Structure 1
C-alpha cells in the first residue's frame, strides 16, 4: 500500500465518433491545402519550377509521415495540423530560392549561374529562419502537453525535412537536367507573376513615425480591452470539466447552459457553467464546461457531476437516454457524452506557469540567436520588440472578440501553442529582411543607411507577400475545414501571419534602422 493516496487531477477521454470526425476534418484540410499549394506554385512560377517544388513537398510529406510512423506516433488532429503547417512553411524555402534566382536572371546571368547563386544567396536566410522555428518547436515540445507536443514534434520533423528537400533535392534536380541541356529556358515567371511587385521603391522608413503612433494606439486599446473584458480562459488555466454532449435534436447552447446552471445553483456549492456549439459530429453537439466541485477529486465526484448534467438535461426532455447510456462514449441514441476532460486547479496552475515560461524562453532564445548571428543589438531589439507587439496584439484581439464570434476563442494550451508558433513563423519574416539588410551593408557600405534599409525591404517584398499568402492559404483550409477542435488555433495563426508580416516591414526594420543609425553615428564620432 502506498503511503499517500493517488488522485487523477487531469484526464481526457474522447469517443470514437468525435475522434473520427476530428481526424476526417483534419485530413480533408490537409488534402485541400496540399492541392491548392501545388496549383499556386505552378501558376506563379511556371509548370516545371512549380512541379519541382511540389515534388519536394510530396517527399517532405512522406518523409515526415515515415518518421512519425517509425516512432509509432498516434495520428492526432494536432499532429495533422502540424504537418499541414509545415507544408505551408516549407514553401517558404522554395519561394526564397526562386525569388533570388529571378533577381540573378534580371541581372543578366545565365540560368545555370543564376540558379547556383540563387541557392547560395538564399541559404543563410533559409537556415536562420528554419533554425528559429526549430527553437520554437523544441520549447513547445518541452513545455507543452500531449496535443501540443504532438504538434511540435510533427512541425519540427517537417521543418527539418523541408530544409533537406528544398535546399538539396531540388538543386540536384535542376543541375541534373541543366547538365543535359534541358530546362534551359526556365524564367520562373508566368503571366500572373511577371510584373508582380517588380522594381518597387517604397520609402518605408519615412512612415516609421506614423506607424509607431498607430502601434501605440493599438497597444493602448488592447490594454483597455484586457483590463475591462479580460480573456475567456479555458479550463487549462482555470481548472474545470468539459463534456461534449451529443443530442438527437437541435438544441441551443444558451438553453443547455441555462438548464445546467440552474442544477448547479440548486446545489448551493458554487460553480459556473458555459456552453459552446460543436459541429464536427453527425448529430448536434454542445460542449458543457463547469467549475462545479473541481477542487474535489475521486471517481465518485466525477460521477456526481456527470449525473447532475444528465439529470438536468433529462428532466427538461433534452435527452432521452438513461444515465448508463448517457455516459457510454459509443452510444448514439437518446443523447450521450462523446468527450470528457478534467483539469484540476493544481494542474491549471502548472500549465499557466509553463505557458508563461515557454513564451519568455522563446523570446529570449530568439533574441540571443539573432544577436549571435547578426552581431548587432539593432536587429535583436527590432526583432524582439516586433515579436512582443505581435504577441500582445493577438492576445488583445482575443480579449476584444470573445463572445462575439461564432466559435470559441478560449485562451488554453492550444492558444499558447499558436502564440509560440506565431513567434517562430513571424521571426522567419524578420530574419529574411534582416539577412538582406546585412548582405547589402556588406555589398554597399557607402550607401545611405535609410535608402539601404528601404531597398532591402523592397528586395524581399515579393518573398514576404508570397510566403504569407501560401501560409494563409493553408491556415484558411485548416480554419474552415479542420473542425472546431483546431479552429481557435488556426484563427490565432491567421492573425499572427497577418500581424507578423506587417510588423516585419513597418516595425522591426524601422526599429533596427533607428538603433543602427544611432550606433553608427556614435562610432563615427568616436573615430573622429
Structure 2
C-alpha cells in the first residue's frame, strides 16, 4: 500500500481530534452530575415540592459557573458555556424534552393582508382551501389560489375589497392581473413566515434551552422546534404558541353589565329551552331546592347533560366582581366556550344599547389552582381594533410589583406614550379601568388613581409565577407572531424515560460490540484481532465526528451505530475471504494479501455505495430521530470504509513485515465453506414456489388484516403510561373508550406499561386541548393509579417511575404528508439503486433482478407485521421508524446482491469459456461464506439490540431482523435467478459457443 505514512498521520490526527471532541462531553457530564449532587444536598426530599426546588438549585448552580473556567487543557481554557456548546447533543428520546412542528396559519396572514375582507368569494376560497388541505400535498397558499380560481367569476384578487388595500398600497394596484397579485402575495407570505421563524428563534434563545434546534420546513409554513432537556412542557408550548398580540382596551364597569346578563338569560330561555315547562307537582320546588342545597354541600355541581337548564346563563355563573371593578361575573373554565357562544348570539347582542353595540366580551387569565375565570366587557369599535397595541412596546422586563409579586414592566415609543397618556387620563377622570389583553386574554385591568401616566411606562400584573413573568417579557421583547402557530405534531418524552433509553442503549451497544469482537477472533484468529482494533477506531471516529459536527445523538442513532458495527465487519470479511482464496491458489502470503485487498475493493465500494444511497434518501425524507439514524449510518459507512481498507491493511502489513504469519482462519473455520459447488440455479423453481407462497400469504393478510398504522400515518395522540401494578389492556381500552369515544390500549414492554392511542379531538390543536386530554386521561386511569395525584402523573421528575412517561401527537394533515414522504422515500431509493446498478453492471437485467428481490423482501416484511401485530408482545406500529427499517433492509439486501453480482462480473471476464449458468452457480458458492458470515454477525448485533435495547425500538429491530433473514435468502435464491431468467438465450449461449470454439482450436 502506497502513502502509508500519510494514512498513519491521518489516522492519528483523526483519532486525537475525536478524543478532543469527546472530552467536552465527558467534562460536561461530570459537571452536571456534580450540580445534581449539590442540589440534592441542599434540598431534602421531605420538603414540599422538593423536585422543583432541586431543579432550580441545579439550574442556579450551572448558571453561576456559566462563565467560569471549568476545563483546562493547557493550551486552551474553556468556560462551562463553551464546554456545554462543544459537548455531544443528546436527542429527545435520550434526554427528554419536546419536539414540535408548528404550522403558521397562512389563512390568518391572508386575512390580515386583505384587511379582514368580508368579500364572500374571498372567504369561501379560504374555507375551500382549508378543506382541500385535508387531502392535499400543496401549501395552503397554492390551494387558496386554486380554490379562488375555481369560483372567482369576474372577481379579481386586486379588487378593493380583497388585496387592493391600504396595507398593500404601492405593491398592488387595481390594474394588476391575478398572476401578478399571486407573486406579490407569495412574497408577503414568505416574509411573514420568515418573521415568525425569527420571532420563535428569539423566544427560544431567551428561554435558555441547551442545544435547541429550530428549522423551517420547506415553504409550507411549518417550523420544526426541538427542545431537548426541557422539563416544563406546558411552559414551553405556551412560549411557542403565544402570538403575543398585545392590546390595550378601555373597560366598562362590571356592575353595569350584570343587568345585561339577566336580560340575556331571559332571552336564552326561549332559545335553549324552546319547549314549555312541564307542570310540576305540588311540593316539587321545595324538594328540588333541598336536593340542590345537599348537592352544593357535597360539592356536586354537575348536571345531567340531557337535562334542560332552567337559567341557561345564570346557572353557569360562579361569582361576581367587586363593586366599581371591571369584572362582570365569574365562570368555570370548562364553560367558557358555551358562555362565549351565548353572548355572541344575534338575539342576545340585540339587547345592547346602540352606543354599545360594538362591545367586546373577553375572559381573564385563570388564577393558579383555580377553575374560575373572569368575564370583562371592553369598549369596542366598528373595526374591532384597539386604541393601542403592542407594536408600540420597545422593551419589556420582568419585575416585582409593590406587593412583591412578579409582573412585567413595559416601555413604549413616543407615539405609544402619547396615546397611553390619553387613555390613562380618560380612565382617571371616569373612574374606569384599562384592560391589558394578550392573545385575547385579559391579564389585568388596573384602575388609574394618580392622574394621566406620562412617559410611556406601564406594567402587566396578575397571578404570575416568576417563570410566567419571565416568559411574557420574553415574548413581548421578541415581538408578536404574524399569525397564530398551531402545534400539528408533537412528541414529549420524560427525562426518566430518556435515562432508561441511555442505559438500554449502552447495554445493547456493549453486548453487541463484545459479541462481534469475539466472533472475529474465533473465525479469523489473529487477523480477526486486527479487524477488532480497526473497529474500535471506527467507533471512536463515529462518536468524534458526531460530536464535532454538533449532530444530535438519538436512540435510533445508537441503533445505527450498533448496526454499523455489524455492517463494518462486512468489509473485513470480504477482504479476508478474498485473501483466503488467493492463499488457496498457492500464492505467497504477501502477494495474497496484496491481491486480496485489490480484488475486494470493487465489491466493498459497490456494496457500501448502495447502502449509502438508501441512507442518504432516508436522511433527506426523514425527520427527528429517523434523521439521526440516517446520519450515524452515513458516517458509519464512511468511517468503516476508511478503517477496513486502510487501518486493517496497515496493521496486517506491519505484522507480516515483522515476520509474523497469518492464516486468516482458525482450526474451527479453516475449511469452512471451502470447495462448495451448490447448484443454486437448479433449485430456483423450488425457491420461486416458496417465495410465491410467502408472497400470497403476505398479500392476503395485508388485504384482509391490514397493518397496525401508527399515528404518524393516520393522525391522533399516543400516550405511554406506566403503572405501579400490572394492568389489563382490554379493561383499560373499554374505560378509555367511554371517555374518548374510541381508544386503543396495548401492552408496551412490561405488563405494567401501556401505549394508549386515540383520535379524539385530533383536529383541535390548541395547548388547552392537549391539557384537557391529559386531564381526561388521568381521570379515566385514576382507579388504576394507586392514588397518584395529577401533578405526579404528569410530573417531569428525573426519577419518575410511574405515570405519563411520553406522549405524541400528529394531526391528520401532517400524517398524510408523512405517509406521502415515506412512499416517495422508498420509491426514490429503489429508482436510485436501479440506476446505480445499471450504470455499474451495464445490463438492465442486473438492476431488475436486484429491485424485484427488494420488492420481494419488503412485501414479506410487511406480511410478517400484518400476520403478527395482534399477538406479539411489543409495538409493531407502522410509523416513521418502520420506514427507516424498510429502507435499511433495502440497503442491506442490495448490499448482499451486489457482492454476488460483482463476483459474477469478475468470473464472466476471467472464465469466458464457462456457460452463464456455471458462472452464476460458482459465483454464489464462492461468496456463500461471506454472505452467511456477515448476515449471522449482523443478526447477532440486531438480536442484542432487540433484547436489551428497550421497548421503544423493539418493533424497529424486529423489522430489521426479519428483513436481514429474508434479504439474505433473496440475494441467493431470488435476485440472481431472476436476473438469469431475464437474460436472453443468445447471451446465455455465448459461453457455450466460446467453449466449443476453444475445444476446436485445441483439436486443430
TM class, shorter-chain normalised? over 0.9
For residues 17-37 of structure 1, the C-alpha deviation after alignment (integer angstroms, 9 at most, x for no partner) is: 111101111110010000010
Give the alignment's TM-score, normalised by structure 2.
Answer: 0.50
By how many angstroms is 1:262 displaced?
2.1
Structure number with the higher helix fraction is: 1
Aligned to 2:679: 203
The one of 749, 753, 758 equivalent to 1:278 is: 749
Q: Is 1:76 aligned to residue 547 of structure 2?
A: no
Closer, same or farther in 2 for the Cα pair 1:519/1:429, shift >3 Å? Answer: farther
Partner of 2:487: 8
Match of 2:267 in 1: none
Q: 2:829 aligns with which of 353, 356, 362?
A: 362
Instruction: Name the structure 1 match of 2:882.
Output: 415
Task: Please say if 1:450 is aligned against 2:926.
Answer: no
Residues 400-450 of structure 1: CA deviation (Å, up to 9, x unaligned):
111121111111101000000000111110000000000000001110111
Moved more, 209-218 or 193-202: 209-218
Equivalent runs, 1:332-343 vs 2, <5 Å = 335-343=802-810
Contact 1:325–1:336 (8 Å) recurs in 2: yes
Q: Distance in 2 between matches of 1:392 and 1:514?
A: 21
Taking the aligned partners of 1:517 and 1:87, their CA distance within structure 2 comes to 41
Query: Relative to total residues, which structure has the larger strand share, 1 or 2?
Result: 2
- Assess, with a 3 A threshold, how the Cα gap between structure 1 residues 431 and 343 changes in structure 2: closer, same or farther: same
1:302 aligned to which of 742, 766, 770:
770
1:389 matched to 2:856? The reply is: yes
Higher relative contact order by CA 8 Å / sep ≥ 6: 1 or 2?
1
Deviation at 1:116, TM superposition (A): 0.6
3-state SS of 1:154 partner: helix
Structure 2 CA distance for partners of 1:520 and 1:370, relative to 1, 3 Å: same
Contact 1:359 1:420 in 2 (8 A): yes
Quick check: 1:494 aligned with 2:961? Answer: yes
Q: In the alignment, what sits opposite 1:268?
A: none
Task: Report the Cα offset of residue 3 of structure 1.
Answer: 4.8
* Paired position in structure 2 for 1:99: 577
User: Residues 463-508 of structure 1, C-alpha deviation per residue, up to 9 Å, x if partnerless?
Assistant: 0000001000100001001011111111010011100000001011
Please give the root-mean-square deviation of Cα atoms over the aligned residues, in Å. 1.9
Matching residue within 779, 785, 792 for 1:311? 779
Out of 195-204 and 121-130, give the one that drifted further. Answer: 195-204
1:154 and 2:632 matched = yes
Normalized against structure 1, the TM-score is what?
0.94
Q: CA deviation at 1:248?
A: 2.1
C-alpha deviation, 1:301, in angstroms: 1.0
In the other structure, the counterpart of 2:724 is: 248
Alignment partners' CA distance in 2, 1:521 and 1:459: 21
* Distance of 2:531 and 2:959 partners within structure 1: 28
- Once residues 298 and 452 of structure 1 are traced to their aligned partners in structure 2, the CA distance between those partners, rounded to angstroms, is 65
Give 1:174's match in structure 2, choosing from 643, 652, 655.
Answer: 652
- Cα distance between partner residues in 2 of 1:519 and 1:264: 67
Change (3 A) 1:104 1:334: closer
Say if 1:253 and 1:277, in contact at 8 Å, map to a contact too: no
Give the SS at the match of 1:460: helix
Compared CA separation, residues 42 and 522, structure 1 to 2 (3 A): closer
Does the residue aligned with 1:7 lie in a helix, a strand or coil? Answer: strand
Q: Hey, what does 2:983 align to over in structure 1?
A: 516
Distance in 2 (alpha carbons) for counterparts of 1:312 and 1:415:
31
Query: SS state of the match for residue 486, structure 2?
Result: coil
Cα distance 1:217–1:260, how it changes in 2: closer, same or farther (>3 A)? same
Check conservation: 2:678, 2:925, Cα contact below 8 A. yes
Show CA shifts across 1:112-135 (max 9, x none). 000111101110000001111110
Structure 1 contact 479–487 (Cα < 8 Å) conserved: yes
| 8 Å Cα contact 1:273/1:291 also seen in 2 | no
* Aligned positions of 1:446-485 closer than 5 A: 446-485=913-952
Mark the runs of 5 or more structure 1 residues left unpaired by the alignment. Answer: 266-270
Offset at residue 83 of structure 1 (A) = 0.4
Question: What per-residue deviation string (whole Å, max 9, x for no partner) do you get for residues 127-178 of structure 1?
Answer: 0011111101111111011010000000110110000000111112222232
* CA distance in 1: counterparts of 2:802 and 2:936, whole angstroms: 42
Number of the residue aligned with 2:81: none
8 Å Cα contact 1:79-1:151 kept in structure 2: yes
Q: Which structure has the bigger radius of gyration?
A: 2
SS at match of 2:718: strand
State the 1:196 CA deviation: 1.3
Distance 1:71 1:276 in 2: 38
Gapped runs of 5+ residues in structure 2?
Answer: 1-479, 992-1004
